[in-house]
Structure formats: structure tokens, C-alpha cells
Amino acid sequence: MWQEPWPTELRLLEGGRMLNVAFDDGAQFALSAELLRTQSPSAEVQGHSERERKTIGGKRHVAIIAVAPVGNYAVRLDFDDMHRTGIYTWRYLRELGETAPQRFAAYLEELAAKGLDRNRPGER
């Protein structure tokens, strides 16, 4: 029976601006706090449908201030902008790691299309 890769390490780096995630199959990802914050799985960001999903600007310098376990399947990340409602499952962290460059490029395109940027707070 195949099992999903299990995280073996979650480590904050660069003053909380990066989260290193390592898995038991050898995969390892350094995820920026900006990516994690703007791709938060919370309803506050994702909404309850694609139409409700928000693009959030002004998070270039956001940092993670706490990592709290949620059962044995996820972590909650607390950010210094007081966002703390996203539950990041192991599967979602793996997906973010595997798709980080594409997701970040899409995020930058969304910011530009909506008149937002990485330095100025705002959402649409």
C-alpha cells in the first residue's frame, strides 16, 4: 500500500521569512512566507469558491511567527500580519513545494492584473 510522503522537518529560516519542509522520501522545499501567506488555504483567502478567492498584496516582507501542530495531519502557520486561520496539510505543503515557481509567477501576474503589488497592502 502506497503512503503519502510524511514530513520529517519543519524549520523556520531567515527570521521566519522561509519555511523549510523535508519529507521522508527525500524531497525538500524552502517555501517563502510570502508564498505561504498569499496561498493560505483559509476561507479568508480562498473564499468558498474560485469567484470568492482573494489576491493579497503587500506581503513581500511578511514573516511566520509560529508553527502549531493540528492533529497529525497539518500545521497552522501564524504570520506577523496576524493571519492565523490557514491549516496547511502535509499534502498541501508538498503541493506548494512542487509548484512554488509556477504559483508565485501566477501570483505576480494576478497582482499586476488587479493593480496590486508586493509592497503595498491591498486585496481584490
Signed CA dihedral, 34, 18, 22, 9: sign only: negative
How far, in Å, CA of 117 to CA of 109, rounded?
A: 10
Mean pLDDT of all residues belonging to the chain:
93
66 pLDDT above the threshold of 90:
yes
Closest-CA residue to 80 (of 122, 44, 36): 36
**Span 107-114, mean pLDDT?**
95
Q: What are the grid coordinates assigned to 123, written together?
A: 486585496
9-35 mean pLDDT: 97
DSSP secondary structure letter of residue 48: S
- pTM, two decimals, is 0.93
At 42, the pLDDT band (50, 70, 90 cuts) reads confident
Confidence of residue 1 (pLDDT cuts 50, 70, 90): low
Q: Is 89 helix (H, G, I), strand (E, B) or coil?
A: strand
Tell me how crowded residue 61 is: count the other CB atoms within 10 A of its CB.
Answer: 12
10: pLDDT strictly greater than 70: yes
Residue 63 is placed in which grid cell? 514573516
The proportion of the chain whose per-residue pLDDT surpasses 70, expressed as a percent, equals 98
Cα–chain center distance at 96: 7
